[in-house]
Amino acid sequence: MKESINTLTMNAPDDWHIHLRDFDALATTVPHVSANFRRAICMPNLVPPIKTTAQAIAYRERIVAHIPSDSISQQFEPLMVLYLTENLTAQDIEEAVNSGIVKAVKLYPAGATTNSDDGVTNINHCTDVFAKMESLGLPLLLHGEVTHEHVDIFDREKRFIDEVLTQLIFKFPKLKIVFEHITTSDAVDFVLSQSKNICATITPQHLLFNRNHLLVGGLKPHFYCLPVLKRQSHQQVLLDVATSGNPKFFAGTDSAPHATHAKENACGCAGCYSAPLALSLYAQAFDKVDKLDKLEAFMSINGAKFYGLPVNSDKVTLVRDTWQVPDFYEYLGDKTLTPLMAGQKLDWKVLPFGLAV
């Protein structure tokens, strides 16, 4: 076992997949993410979705308006994404790239997750868009699950690889793709077998937990997300590859706020809220396997290089210092928001940007 590390200073991290929601929700989510990350890819599955560059620019303005005024948070940069529909055109892609604001396009299979009803039913209807994205280098972000009712929920990622993703890459071999929030060894093996333009994000919950945490002793609604937590064997493969230093894998929290009453419900919402503690969660996972020396690449370097953006030059410091996750955060005025691991203790504390020990 390596000698214990008690302080870790690294380049400031980015979150390459986050849900901030909109309007009043931004008063909670934006301060949380801007206190911990320099940049974040902001998901477009709002109601209504962000389908045009003009809508993306307006959404970015609403996010920026909620960034706290302190000098540290003010450096936060939201990175915008268009929601792929079968009505999106190649001209829309050109406009998005020329804006400098839109950094990717998101493909949701219709009905796969929260606010995905406007998603894609047949990728063959989007070939002109994919061709234009391939030629301009605009990444495609994938929620990688099929939605057929007869397919077991634990098999939907594997079936997406076999039935959709393989076909897509065959037709567009130079298209930049992020296979988001992967959950299985099948996804890991697939990404590793592909060219460097195929990468993947991994969430903290899929590194730290498996379906036993969700189901044993009763259903735990705050562990419920989509794609759903899988077997411990899949969790271990994800942890191995995340901590390997391989540039194909990087952090995307998929942090998704749902009010506590909507999670703790007869039909609870899918999504784990991790934005204010995500870096501590990732550090916990990497520390568990003595791979803290690989955390910076996963959090701060690999994603930036894939997106063609500079690595953040400022630093963040983590210290080994036990602290307790809050039971809840205030949300939407009179409601609460329960974070992942609410009331539990974490071993790593993130110091404010610019503060070192």
Binding residues for substrate: 19-21, 45, 143, 226, 258, 270
Q: Give Dmax over CA atoms of the chain in angstroms.
A: 56
**How many C-beta atoms lie closer than 10 Å to residue 150's C-beta?**
5
Question: What are the CA-CA distances from residue 97 to residues 38, 178, 311 (Å)?
Answer: 22, 17, 21
Cis peptide before 227 (omega within 30 of 0): yes
Question: What is the distance between the alpha carbons of residues 118 and 127, in angstroms, rounded to a whole number?
Answer: 18
Q: Residues 279, 316: contact at Cβ < 8 Å?
A: yes
Catalytic-role residue among 240, 254, 287, 347: 254
Residues annotated in a binding site:
17, 19-21, 45, 106, 143, 181, 226, 254, 258, 270
Going by DSSP bridges, is the β-strand pair 315-324/140-142 parallel, antiparallel, or unpaired?
unpaired
> In degrees rounded to 5, what are phi and psi of residue 7?
-140, 135
Active site includes 186?
A: no
* 290-307 burial: b if 16+ Cβ within 10 Å, else e: ebbebbbbbbbbbbbebb
What contacts 187, CB < 8 A, 6 or more positions away?
144, 157, 158, 161, 179, 200
Question: What is the distance between the alpha carbons of residues 18 and 26, in angstroms, rounded to a whole number?
Answer: 12
Residues annotated in a binding site for Zn(2+):
17, 19, 106, 143, 181, 254
* 113-138 burial: b if 16+ Cβ within 10 Å, else e: bbbbebbbeebeebeebbebbbeeeb
Residue position matching structure tokens 């390596």: 2
Question: What is the distance between the alpha carbons of residues 326 and 253, in angstroms, rounded to a whole number?
Answer: 18
**How many C-beta atoms lie closer than 10 Å to residue 95's C-beta?**
15
Active site residues: 254
